[in-house]
Amino acid sequence: MEDKAKERALAQELVAEIRRLAAGADQHFRFMEVCGTHTVAIFRAGLRQLLPENVELVSGPGCPVCVTPDDYMDKAITYALRDDTIITTFGDMLKVPGSKSSLMEAKASGADIRIVYSPLDTLQVAKENPDKKVIFLAVGFETTAPTAAATVLAAKQAGLTNVYMLSAQKLVPPIMYALLHDPQVKVDGFLLPGHVAVITGTRAFQFLVDEYHKPGVVAGFEPLQLLRAIVRLLQQATKGEARIENEYEDVVRPEGSPAAQKATSEVYEPADAGWRGMGIVPLSGLRMREAYAAYDIERLLPLDIPMGENKPGCRCGEVLRGIVTPKECPLFAKACVPTHAVGPCMVSVEGVCAAWYKYGQGRFQYGK
């Protein structure tokens, strides 16, 4: 109880400092979190409701499932329906809609789709099913790319020739470039993703300062860490300053994780990639290098599937760019709910729409 009381007192002090800084500025501040886990943590703690009217948090493209366009899901479903194929995937991919159906519907039709907790679990499935092509759906950001790369390296070392990746790995800094060049996106600073920064390091975000004069603070995931990061952003923004600061120093270093970066670079190289609501963004994704082409299912069995658009009425693409909130989408909490999602932002546990739906306007846990 003493710890909770102390935490609440610290939160009250931080909220008071945020209000003090905001009150002294004749400006409306918009800060974007580009991490889906941050979005959920902010909603769960009710932090948005504690901020003054001129300080706004908006959610960006930080949910890897959400930014994956329909054509990727259509490819995954097409492969899954082959008799000689097993799909391995994280569970939140099952309900993600493609242009016409989902993996869950394919599974109900007889497709062999197995939920795994790590890409490395794919290796055991491949060993037990040597006559099948075992395809892992490699969706994620810099955080998960090293594990996918390690799976490929382990498959090569073990001599497994039936392991493949359907890659849709995304890179955070390039999409931030794209957001900053989007005239509809208005942000004054960024809550930078803690998990991604563990891999990339803080230096990967220095371009925000050097090229755009935008402040950025790497944040952890506890309410107090997030509030401290908002204080730091306001301290910079109210003075017209711009720096990359680190509120997650226990695990994030300027250089990141050289070992994880090396594993990813061994297997993958930067490539243009499609993002939901943003189209093709140059060098914002990863594709497997030529040396590992034998593990790339799209090179073995290429599919000609066009990149799809949002479903009619779905504003998921705009939500992912922080242009609108979920409640501005006409489908939100009506035709689109977690049990029957129209767009992927309602499917993933890190999706903005799912967070809005689950937590509503949030719960006041701190500062009052």
pLDDT tens sequence across 87-105: 999 998 998 888 888 999 9
Tens of pLDDT, residue by residue over 128-147, are: 999 999 999 999 999 999 99
What confidence score (pLDDT) does residue 310 get? 63
Q: Show the domains of the chain with their CATH numbers.
A: 2-62+181-246 (3.40.50.11750), 65-171+256-300 (3.40.50.11740)
What confidence score (pLDDT) does residue 359 get? 87
Tens of pLDDT, residue by residue over 282-324, are: 999 999 999 999 999 999 999 988 776 667 889 988 999 999 9
Structure tokens at 250: 């226990």
Reported pTM? 0.91
State percent of the chain over pLDDT 70: 96
Residue 13 has pLDDT above 60, yes or no: yes
Task: Report the pLDDT averaged over residues 237-265.
Answer: 97
What confidence score (pLDDT) does residue 309 get? 61
Structure tokens at 285: 């994704």
CA–CA separation, 158 vs 41, rounded Å?
40
CA–CA separation, 336 vs 10, rounded Å?
38
What confidence score (pLDDT) does residue 65 get? 87
Residue ranges in the chain assigned as alpha helix (H): 2-23, 36-45, 64-67, 70-80, 103-108, 121-128, 145-158, 172-180, 194-200, 207-212, 223-237, 258-267, 297-300, 316-319, 352-359
